[in-house]
Amino acid sequence: MSKIGKKILSLPPKTELICAGDEVTARGPHGEIVTKLALHGFSVIQDKDANTVQIVPPERLDKRSRSLWGTNTAVIANMIQGVNKPFEKVLEFEGIGYKAEIQGAELVMVLGFSHPVRVKIPEGLTAKVEKNQIAIFGIRKEQVGSFAASIRKIRKVEPYKGTGIRYKGEIIKKKAGKKLAGATA
């Protein structure tokens, strides 16, 4: 039995979940998400009175179905959460002269390269810049995380000085420099 798969998901008020074949649609106050899931033999049971949703597996669970049970439940839970309260990732950048601004549908960053780095903000996401932080919002969890990772990859945190782009709250292990390492040997 899957721990995540057998969870009963609650539907907040003003949220609607529609299943048509392999396509699952979630509607809520912040928008609509349509996702195609691998529901091989699974049935999605909704209790309209209790506002709950549960994914019930087929009677015979093969290895593939067992692995998809928890995944499908987690994806539907993220869809429900996203249409009610958008997901957010906050990135911090640290370094001399590092700055960012939003120009139209692009995020323009000065990160110590010979040129400013321009990144197009994907449709469905919004970004906000405050001082040394970039906040990314969206109703699709995987899209928010993917875009944040692509921004972070542009200038990873350097382990000696700690300059670069990092997630808010991320702990970076700093390395000792040549002088400190040589003095102890």
Check: CB of residue 17 under 8 Å from CB of residue 54. Answer: no
CA–CA distance from 175 to each of 70, 154, 163, 167 (Å)?
39, 21, 13, 19
Which tens digit of pLDDT belongs to each residue from 23-57? 999 999 999 999 998 877 788 888 888 889 988 88
Domain positions in the chain: 9-84, 87-167
Summarize the confidence of residues 58-67 as an average pLDDT: 79
Please give the CATH number for the structural domain made up of 87-167.
Answer: 3.90.930.12
Query: In this prediction, what percent of the chain has a pLDDT beyond 90?
Result: 62
Q: Find, among 109, 143, 150, the residue nearest to 126 by Cα.
A: 143
pTM of the model: 0.88
Nearest to 24 by CA among 11, 35, 12, 16: 35
Q: Which fold has domain 9-84?
A: Outer Surface Protein A; domain 3 (3.90.930)
Query: How far is 44 from 181, CA to CA, in rounded Å?
Result: 59
Whether the predicted pLDDT of 96 surpasses 70: yes
The yes-or-no verdict on residue 185 having pLDDT over 60 is no
Beta strands 9-10; 16-20: pairing state: unpaired
- Segment of 7-11, 53-57, 67-71, 83-87 carrying the highest mean pLDDT: 83-87
Q: Please tell me the predicted confidence (pLDDT) of residue 183.
A: 59
What token pair was written down for 107?
Answer: 């995020």
Q: Which of the two residues, 22 and 151, has the higher pLDDT score?
A: 151
Asked if the domains at 9-84 and 87-167 fall in one CATH topology, the answer is: yes
List phi, psi (to 5°) of 174.
-90, 145
